[in-house]
């Protein structure tokens, strides 16, 4: 690291460690979707993203992930917290007026419906190993013991709905399961779901791309 200060070297090491942690664990999502047979309209121009969880910080972070994935794909989207204040109770009419002001024509809701973990134990293994002494040519046989270990996969089920603003009807729905190493954390799971939901909406032709 010639020419680099100690502070710069420490910063680079921190970045490399962060990348290593990000690459060490991952989450994968399987998704299935269905479009209402009554949907015959044009792709929606701007959607509101609403993550339905009790923890506001988790909801805001998950909404940001999904909005970012949609925007990266050319879809005009906004998180609900940017329009509605959590400390205020809105009537139906007030919500509609706020959505009208922002030009929202569909609302995408996502909620976690179930979660859990699967444990798998790899059994201990005892095997016979043969080794030839390169000097004497004699064959030695001995036992090698390999201890087993426990693998844990966390999983979470999600449901998503796209609601038409004008009619209030659900025009698209999806179910998804995300699974992976628990070390990925909630953020990793949220990012994986966000990617798949955004991709599926586009594949199904429900949202317009700029």
Please tell me the number of Cα atoms within 13 Å of 145 on its side-chain side: 1
Tell me how many domains the chain contains. Answer: 1
Q: What is the pLDDT of residue 1?
A: 43
Helical (H) or strand (E) element with 103? none
Q: What is the pLDDT of residue 149?
A: 64
Nearest to 206 by CA among 39, 49, 71, 76: 39
- Here the CATH number for the domain that contains residue 111 is 3.40.50
12 part of a folded domain: no
pTM of the predicted model as reported, rounded to 2 decimal places: 0.72
Q: What are phi and psi of 91, to 5 degrees?
A: -80, 170
Residue 64 and residue 66: Cα distance in Å, rounded?
A: 6
Mean pLDDT split into 10-residue runs, the chain, 210 residues: 42 35 60 93 93 79 92 94 90 92 94 80 77 80 73 83 93 91 75 91 92
**Domain boundaries, position 44:** 26-203
2 part of a folded domain: no
45 part of a folded domain: yes
138 part of a folded domain: yes
169 part of a folded domain: yes
Q: What is the pLDDT of residue 63?
A: 92
10 part of a folded domain: no
Computed on alpha carbons and rounded to an integer, the radius of gyration of the chain in Å comes to 25
Q: Which residues of 138-165 are buried (b: 16+ CB within 10 A; e: fewer)?
A: eeeeeeeeeeeeeeeebbbebebbbbbb
17 part of a folded domain: no
Mention every residue, 6+ apart, whose C-beta is less than 8 A from residue 201.
Answer: 70, 75, 108, 162, 172, 207
3-state secondary structure of 91: coil
20 part of a folded domain: no
Q: What is the pLDDT of residue 26?
A: 72
């Amino acid at each position: 690291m010639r020419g680099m200060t100690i502070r710069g070297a420490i910063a680079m090491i921190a970045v490399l460690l962060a990348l290593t942690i990000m690459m060490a664990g991952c989450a994968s999502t399987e998704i299935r979707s269905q479009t209402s047979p009554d949907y015959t309209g044009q792709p929606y121009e701007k959607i509101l993203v609403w993550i339905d969880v009790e923890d506001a910080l988790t909801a805001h972070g998950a909404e940001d992930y999904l909005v970012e994935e949609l925007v990266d794909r050319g879809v005009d989207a906004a998180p609900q917290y940017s329009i509605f204040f959590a400390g205020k109770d809105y009537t139906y009419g007030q919500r509609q007026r706020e959505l009208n002001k922002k030009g929202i024509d569909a609302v995408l809701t996502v909620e976690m419906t179930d979660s859990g973990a699967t444990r798998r134990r790899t059994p201990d293994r005892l095997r016979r190993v043969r080794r030839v002494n390169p000097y004497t040519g004699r064959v030695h046989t001995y036992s090698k013991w390999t201890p087993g270990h426990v693998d844990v996969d966390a999983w979470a089920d999600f449901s998503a709905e796209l609601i038409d603003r004008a009619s209030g009807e659900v025009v698209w729905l999806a179910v998804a399961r995300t699974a992976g190493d628990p070390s990925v954390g909630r953020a990793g799971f949220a990012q994986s779901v966000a990617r798949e939901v955004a991709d599926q909406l586009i594949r199904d032709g429900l949202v317009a791309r700029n």
